[in-house]
Chain A
Amino acid sequence: MNDTEDIEDIEDSGSSGEEESTPRSWFYRDRDVADAKRKAMYQRHKDRPSIKKINEELGLSDDLYPVMASLEEMDAVLEDGGTFSDIFKTLVYSDAMESALAFLLLVEEKSNTQVKSPEQLLKLAKLGKKAEKDVTSAYYEACEFKYQLALEKILRDGGKYKDLLGLNPEAYGLPDEGEDERKTHVETAIVLYYGFIETAVFRPSVRDVAEELEAPYEVILKASKCMDAKKDTDEIYKDF
């Protein structure tokens, strides 16, 4: 059975192995379909050089799937005779980091070169001087994304807070802007990895995370409250 049949099979049934049709079964069916689609996407891309390399270096993060999805859209443009310029204009978004990384990986893959600067990216992608500002921005977004994936890998491998702080952003093409900036990146990685962005009831215990990471309690406490300043949208549900 191929992956498409897998997905259709799950969509047709109530859920994997379940006949019932309840909100619970819908939840599992949706989750199974999404997972099967991701699995299929990974199968399609696991051998392409850019994904293989990033997977070997940084592991298979959940956040790598959006990059693969972006790459698929970009591949389609190239297959239709489009250029890097066409892709940059239509599929690289100023507010979606994964599209910036996908573009960088695509250019590296097609030119068989590791891009080390925004100027190099501009040149390899044959984008005009007009696009310099946007390309620079996209380049650093892509670098930041890679740096976040590297921090996530440390967390997945059981690394501690000091290991996270020890990861040099310069190794991922970002300027090292000092300890405070590095702490901000590390906090973001912790927030995303431990799900502190989700609704309060689904968040882990601050103390447990601090102990696990051997991190100062106040650092994790601050990270855990990152979404609270904007919490008033959730407040609506409080008394409901």
Chain B
Amino acid sequence: MKSTRTSKEEFILLRARGLSFEKISKTLHKSKQTLVNWSRELEEEISNLKSMELEALNEEYYLAKENKIRLFGDLLKKIKTELEGRDLSDISTDKLMDLFLKYYAVLEAEKADPVFRSSEEMYEAKSDKRALQRLTASAGSPGADMDLVLEVG
């Protein structure tokens, strides 16, 4: 007997989107008992797809850091240009200045200072990372700490 691969793929998709068993049962024409069995069997796949769906939602609704810097930076540039052409006796300048300061604060908060490393520093950072990975992988195995001490030393 074969297994119902196509329906299972659809099930993973619908479950990851948060549909109830009842609704999926109606959509796929599968009994709830069958779906519960599938849910247990395909738990990891559903979980993975849910994470991907969440990531997509995050991308859609929360701008990535890079985009935020670009957006606020552009706004800041426009306000600055406008301010430069303004007569300071103009009353709305206060508001414009207020906007400038607000966006400047936002941009400051988003700012990420670039870090440049020499090839030697990069080599050291990679060595540390590898040592940390080995330590995590061999955690609990006898003598693991000693190996690391010897290597770092």
Measured CB to CB, the residues of A under 8 A from B are 30-31, 34, 38, 62-63, 65-67, 69-70, 88-90, 92-99, 134, 137-138, 145, 148, 188, 191-192, 195, 197-199, 202, 227, 230, 232-233, 236-237, 240
Q: Which of A30, A97, A99, A202 contacts B33 (CB 8 A)?
A: A97
Smallest CB separation, A150 vs chain B (Å): 13
- Greatest chain A CB density within 10 A among B7, B8, B20, B34 is at B34
Q: How far is the CA of A70 from the CA of B38 in the complex (A)?
A: 18
Q: Which of chain A's residues have a CB closer than 8 A to the CB of B32?
A: 62-63, 192, 197
Whether the Cβ atoms of A66 and B31 lie closer than 8 Å is yes
Per the bound structure, the CA–CA distance linking A75 and B29 in Å amounts to 16
A198 touches B51 (CB 8 A): no
Please classify how large the interface on chain B is, using the bins under 10, 10 to 19, 20 to 34, 35 or more.
20 to 34
Taking each of A66, A191, A227, which has the highest tally of chain B beta carbons within 10 Å of its own beta carbon? A66
Listed residue (A70, A99, A233) with the most chain B CB atoms within 10 angstroms of its CB:
A233
Which secondary structure characterizes the binding site on chain B? helix
Does B110 belong to the interface (CB within 8 Å)? no
Query: Which B residues from 1 to 52 make CB contacts under 8 A with A?
Result: 1-4, 7-8, 18, 20-23, 25-27, 29-41, 43, 46-47, 50-51
Q: Give the CA-CA distance A192 to B37 in the complex, in Å.
A: 12
Q: Given contacts A93-B2, A98-B30, A138-B1, list 9 more A-B pairs with CB under 8 A.
A: A66-B31, A89-B2, A95-B34, A96-B7, A97-B33, A195-B21, A227-B39, A236-B51, A237-B54
Output the nearest chain B residue to A229 by Cβ-Cβ distance: B40
Q: Are A94 and B2 in contact (CB under 8 A)?
A: yes
A98 to B37, CA, bound (A): 13
Report B's interface with A, CB cutoff 8 A. Answer: 1-4, 7-8, 18, 20-23, 25-27, 29-41, 43, 46-47, 50-51, 54
Prevailing SS type, chain A contact patch: helix
- Asked whether A94 lies within 8 Å of B22 as measured between CB atoms, the reply is no
